[in-house]
Amino acid sequence: MQLPSVDVLHGFLAAAQTLNFRRAARQVALTPAALSRRIQVLEELCGTPLFRRTTRSVSLTEAGQRLVPTARSALASVEACVAAARGAADPIALELVIGTRPDLGLSWLFPQLPALAAALPHVTLHLFFGATDDLYARLRTREIDCAVSSARFADPRLDGIVLHREDFAFVAAPRLLRRQPFTRPEHAAHHVLVDVSPDLPLFQYWRDAAGGGDLPFARVQRFNSLAAIHDTVLAGRGVAVLPRYFLAASLARGRLRTLFPRVRPLHDYFRLVFVRDDPRVATFRALAEQFARQPVK
């Protein structure tokens, strides 16, 4: 099976980034005609068009979009091989796209970027915010390079490095409890549970704990955002299980109260998740070491 050359992949990525063959040709020191021939060679090897070209525009096909992250990874592996053979002392410059939930990304990961740049100056970090299922799907297709998440995964293609323990609490606003007490399981019939998805991934940490169990809630409302859930509970419009790091200030100020305090919800762990056979595992481990030094908030 014939494989594409490094030069062909460089030309493809330049064209994919600029979506302008003339500009991309200048970037790789070729004529537009020569670049077009390289793209044609790659399309023949792949057996499918990678670009849609009209007189006015250039765009990637679905196959072209799938090829971009894999081509980047392949070139990074080639550069690492050359550096290893030369015994290079300086690490290879890398660009990594890290995926995470918006709440965690804005409160914890984004503020770390300056410190991460100082500790790992050869790594340029880009952030992608999304829901957990979307993040894992993009990991598998290599649209993102790694993800920070506490959601468990069973896919053998993925691996993870533990960063921090995540604890949970079942909470409600005192003003809600003054209107509708919630001290016995049957009281759930007068309350709304707020969670992130139909399988109740947050409530299950309380439900599956010793002394927990299913509760007959009046209904369930879903928000794909911890901040939205937190605000809803603060407003007295529902109850929820949320991470303790997210609740710390509200619990300390008495704005929220723990329900069924004798039940200790199960805990989980934040992990840096990546594709198991990714050649940049050493970089992921270095990144994980930096993340592990910064408490989640």
Q: What is the pLDDT of residues 90-129, one digit of tens each?
A: 667 889 999 999 989 998 999 999 999 999 999 999 999 9
- Greater confidence, 79 or 173? 173
Give the pLDDT confidence score for residue 84 in this predicted structure.
61
Fold category of 6-65 in CATH = Arc Repressor Mutant, subunit A (1.10.10)
Neighbour count for residue 264 (Cβ, 10 Å): 16
From CA 266, how far away is CA 271, in angstroms rounded?
A: 17
- With H, G, I as helix, E, B as strand and everything else as coil, classify residue 119: helix
- Please give the C-alpha separations between residue 271 and each of 68, 157, 160, 264, in angstroms, as whole numbers: 26, 15, 6, 22
Q: How large is the average pLDDT for residues 65-70? A: 88
Sign of CA dihedral 225, 231, 236, 240: positive
Q: How large is the average pLDDT for residues 259-265? A: 96
Give the pLDDT confidence score for residue 1 in this predicted structure.
56
Give the pLDDT confidence score for residue 168 in this predicted structure.
97
Q: Does domain 168-266 have CATH number 3.40.190.10?
A: yes
- With H, G, I as helix, E, B as strand and everything else as coil, classify residue 157: coil
Domain limits, CATH 1.10.10.10, in the chain:
6-65
Q: How confident is the model at residue 70 (pLDDT cuts 50, 70, 90)?
A: confident
Give the pLDDT confidence score for residue 82 in this predicted structure.
63
Give the pLDDT confidence score for residue 267 in this predicted structure.
94
Q: How large is the average pLDDT for residues 217-225? A: 95
Give the pLDDT confidence score for residue 152 in this predicted structure.
83
Q: Which of 289, 286, 271, 292 is nearest to 94 (CA)?
A: 286
Give the pLDDT confidence score for residue 169 in this predicted structure.
98
H or E element that contains 113: helix 113-119
From CA 261, how far away is CA 168, in angstroms rounded?
A: 12
Q: How large is the average pLDDT for residues 274-293? A: 90
Question: pLDDT tens across 152-205, in order?
Answer: 888 888 999 999 999 999 999 999 999 999 999 999 999 999 999 999 999 999
CB 122 within 8 A of CB 93: yes
From CA 16, how far away is CA 2, in angstroms rounded?
A: 22
Question: pLDDT tens across 5-61, in order?
Answer: 888 888 898 888 888 888 888 888 889 899 999 999 999 999 999 999 888 888 999
pTM: 0.67
Write out the CATH class of domain 93-166+269-292: alpha beta
Domain limits, CATH 3.40.190.10, in the chain:
93-166+269-292, 168-266
